[in-house]
């Protein structure tokens, strides 16, 4: 049947706007079914713990289950790739962390683009690492360490090549204009064991793995890597106080596939920020990580992610760091 031109254009216009109407309607009813919050790391990891806290909060607030889906592998890339390919309808989200900003440069070929393929939703928490030394190292401040490193060989431990603890050391080495030998381990535990044993001298350790050793006197803290003093170690200064511009904290948040309706992103951002303003949730978030909440708009979190991705790109290129 041949349609009159006017009727054809009317139907075509209706077909063009119907997807937009459908997306709007689905956004207004969101969430109408359970939501998957993908974690690209193993259960029990920092990212997983935070995802479960945020998922529980969102479940209680929005009346649907936010289910944590652990998809570990390839430094988080397997989980990220699955979310990048998911439908942008708000029912598949990604718990994001520094490895994604690092992986964007660290790996030559990825099946997703971290900046292009994801829409930032909200930050959750920011966590500082801490520069610690074995007590046998004859320094008690960051300036003394810099002076010592310029006159003596110094080695620093990390949880592995391309980890935050590695790149934090490389950034410090470059900005302080000192030489340090990097010793990579398979995880924080072995790195801490050898640091305490005196096999390596310093580390830019996570707060969670080092705090008990600091409190027991087995490690000496010299500075925190964040731009502000940590509430966990309020007496320890920032490294930026001695090396202007230095900052190397970890951050965590939520992202969605690019193209997710703005109404859904806005609703999630509001609920997450409401959680970050709730003393009960905030205490649980900060107690589990020793960090500070990272509240703000989706645009603010997106700007942070973009800046972090560019910062680590420069460090990786300058130090010629390659994936094993």
**127-163 pLDDT, tens digit each:** 999 999 999 999 999 999 999 999 999 999 999 999 9
The token pair that represents 215 in the structure block: 């409190």
% of the chain residues with pLDDT over 70: 91
Q: Over the stretch 241-260, which tens digit does the pLDDT of each residue have?
A: 999 999 999 999 999 999 99
In the DSSP assignment, the letter for residue 42 is -
Out of 2-11, 22-31, 213-222, which region has the weakest mean confidence (pLDDT)? 2-11
| DSSP 8-state assignment for residue 237 | P
Which CATH fold topology does 129-241 show? D-Maltodextrin-Binding Protein; domain 2 (3.40.190)
Among 228, 253, 236, which Cα is nearest to 101's? 253
Residue 300: pLDDT over 70:
yes
User: Do residues 307 and 301 lie in contact, with contact meaning Cβ atoms separated by under 8 Å?
Assistant: no
Spell out the alpha helix ranges (H) of the chain: 5-28, 46-62, 77-84, 98-106, 142-151, 164-176, 188-196, 207-216, 262-276, 279-289, 298-319
Tokens of 97: 């962390």
Class of domain 33-127+250-319: alpha beta
pLDDT > 90 in the chain, percent: 83
Average of per-residue pLDDT across 177-203: 95
Helix axes 279-289, 262-276, angle to 10 degrees: 80
pLDDT tens-digit map of 44-98: 999 999 999 999 999 999 999 999 999 999 999 999 999 999 999 999 999 999 9
Look over the chain and give the mean of its residue pLDDT values, rounded to a whole number.
91
Q: What residue segments make up the domains of the chain, in order of their start?
A: 33-127+250-319, 129-241
Using alpha carbons, list the distances in angstroms from residue 116 to 76, 162, 250, 302.
17, 22, 21, 11
Does pLDDT of 6 surpass 80?
no
pTM to 2 decimal places: 0.87
């Amino acid at each position: 049947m041949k349609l009159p031109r006017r009727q054809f254009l009317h139907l075509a216009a209706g077909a063009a706007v119907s997807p937009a109407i459908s997306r709007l309607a689905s956004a207004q009813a969101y969430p109408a079914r359970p939501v998957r919050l993908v974690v690209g790391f193993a259960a029990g990891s920092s990212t997983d713990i935070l995802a479960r806290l945020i998922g529980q909060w969102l479940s209680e607030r929005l009346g649907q289950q936010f289910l944590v889906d652990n998809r570990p592998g390839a430094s988080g890339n397997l989980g990220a790739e699955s979310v990048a390919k998911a439908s942008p309808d708000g029912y598949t989200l990604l718990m994001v962390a520094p490895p994604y900003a690092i992986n964007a440069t660290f790996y030559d070929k990825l099946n997703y683009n971290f900046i292009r393929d994801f829409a930032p939703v909200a930050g959750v928490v920011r966590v500082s690492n801490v520069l610690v030394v074995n007590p046998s190292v004859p320094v008690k401040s960051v300036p003394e360490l810099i002076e010592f490193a310029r006159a003596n060989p110094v080695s620093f431990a990390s949880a592995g090549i391309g980890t935050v603890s590695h790149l934090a050391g490389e950034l410090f080495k470059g900005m302080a204009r000192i030489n340090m030998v990097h010793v990579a381990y398979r995880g924080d535990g072995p790195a801490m064991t050898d640091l305490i044993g005196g096999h390596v001298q310093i580390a830019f350790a996570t707060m969670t793995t080092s705090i008990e050793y600091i409190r027991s006197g087995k490690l000496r803290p010299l500075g925190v890597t964040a731009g502000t003093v940590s509430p966990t170690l309020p007496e320890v200064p920032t490294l930026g106080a001695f090396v202007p511009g230095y900052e190397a904290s970890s951050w965590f948040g939520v992202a969605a596939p690019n193209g997710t309706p703005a109404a859904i992103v806005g609703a999630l951002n509001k609920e997450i920020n409401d959680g970050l303003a709730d003393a009960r949730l905030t205490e649980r978030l900060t107690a589990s990580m020793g960090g500070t909440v990272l509240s703000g708009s989706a645009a603010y979190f997106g700007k942070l992610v973009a800046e972090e991705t560019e910062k680590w790109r420069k460090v990786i290129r300058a130090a010629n760091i390659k994936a094993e």
